[in-house]
Amino acid sequence: MAKTSLIYHPDYLKHDISGHCECKERLIRTMDFFQEKGVFDFCKLVTPKPCTEEDILRCHTPEHLNYIKSLCAQGGGAIDGDTYAQPQTYEIARLAAGGDITAGQQVMYGKSDNAYALVRPPGHHACKNHTMGFCYFNNAAIMVRLLQEDYGLERVFLFDWDAHAANGTMDIFRDDPTVLNVSIHQDPHYFYPGTGFVEQTGEGDGEGYTINVPVQAGSADVDYTYLLDKFVLPVLDDFEPELIVISAGMDSHKDDPISGLRLSDNAYGKMTEIFMKAAKKHCNGRLIIELEGGYDVDALARSNYNIVRALQGEKFRNVRGPVPASTLMLARKLKETFGKYHDIK
């Protein structure tokens, strides 16, 4: 059985905007469910510390950091129609990024085989110089940059299965070939944040290292496993990563009110199992997962539980069934677009 660290801090519950879907109950229900299932009997619970301002500035501009810090110091307020700051938001956002860093250090120090950072607020929409989509600082990017600096990592594979395109993460890594950044998400023609198209492939030295996989509304387990098998894993194999990071957003679940995607509880366990196998093949099993979206609290808790089961080495049901024509066409388009950058077998 693998050694798994779960990263959590009760202060994550202090960022609490009344009536907002990104609510403290997301973590309360998961932690209660984990307790019911005895998860803490076989996983190590680790309490993180906040990240430093230096950590944030590896990914964000000073203007962005100072804006969030000053807004919170003045009592908070609306940043946009979706994103609001409270007096404590700056410190809790630092703690969320610190949770991701702690997960990374647990794995890189060899204290655990893998780790899951159960953090909030989320981070994958936070760009270099602005906040959006419930996100303040980009937790995953901040972790990756620190680990690259501390451990000299030259190839990090970052996969985001949240329903929404990881536009902030793409912004931060768009010209960086050391991070192969792949996001599978609902078609942004009709869905937030309105970006994340196949044609957006990165810039400069990073061209070909930003990969968007936009699936149709209604896409389910069979679509995701087909795209992983036929495109994502061949690209990963060619990249030969030294570390795999998963940004896990469960708003792609069939019960979630936010998206039109149709993934089951089983899908999140199966995808984790797939990336566990890839991590063992390429990077001594080093796999870090960090929480992004997911707004049906019961579906989120069940899916989180399946992720942890997979991290412990459990196997999940293979997905069978006909693959929709739209997904077959998408796979062909992805291979045509990225074949000149990667050896896709």
> What domain count does the chain have?
1
In a domain, 164, yes or no: yes
Catalytic residue among 9, 60, 124, 125: 125
pLDDT value at residue 2: 84
In the predicted model, residues of the chain with pLDDT beneath 50 are none
Asked if 24 contacts 15 with a C-beta cutoff of 8 angstroms, the reply is yes
> What range does the domain containing 305 cover?
4-338
Q: E strands along the chain, which residues?
A: 4-7, 44-46, 77-78, 84-85, 114-117, 156-160, 179-186, 210-215, 243-248, 287-291
In a domain, 298, yes or no: yes
pLDDT value at residue 1: 75
In a domain, 226, yes or no: yes
In a domain, 344, yes or no: no
How far apart CA 339 and CA 322 sit, in angstroms, is 25
pLDDT in tens, 260-314: 999 999 999 999 999 999 999 999 999 999 999 999 999 999 999 999 999 999 9
DSSP-H helix ranges across 62-88: 62-73
- Look up 9 and say whether it is catalytic: no
Alpha-carbon distance values, 275 to 80, 93, 279 (Å): 35, 27, 6
Residues contacting residue 235 through CB under 8 Å, at least 6 positions apart:
180, 182, 211, 338, 342, 344
pLDDT in tens, 59-90: 999 999 999 999 999 999 999 989 999 999 99
Kind of pairing, strands 77-78 and 44-46? unpaired
How far apart CA 336 and CA 237 sit, in angstroms, is 17
In a domain, 300, yes or no: yes
In a domain, 343, yes or no: no
pTM over 0.95: yes
Q: What is the CATH number of the domain that holds 89?
A: 3.40.800.20
In a domain, 128, yes or no: yes
In a domain, 345, yes or no: no
pLDDT value at residue 233: 98
Kind of pairing, strands 84-85 and 179-186? unpaired
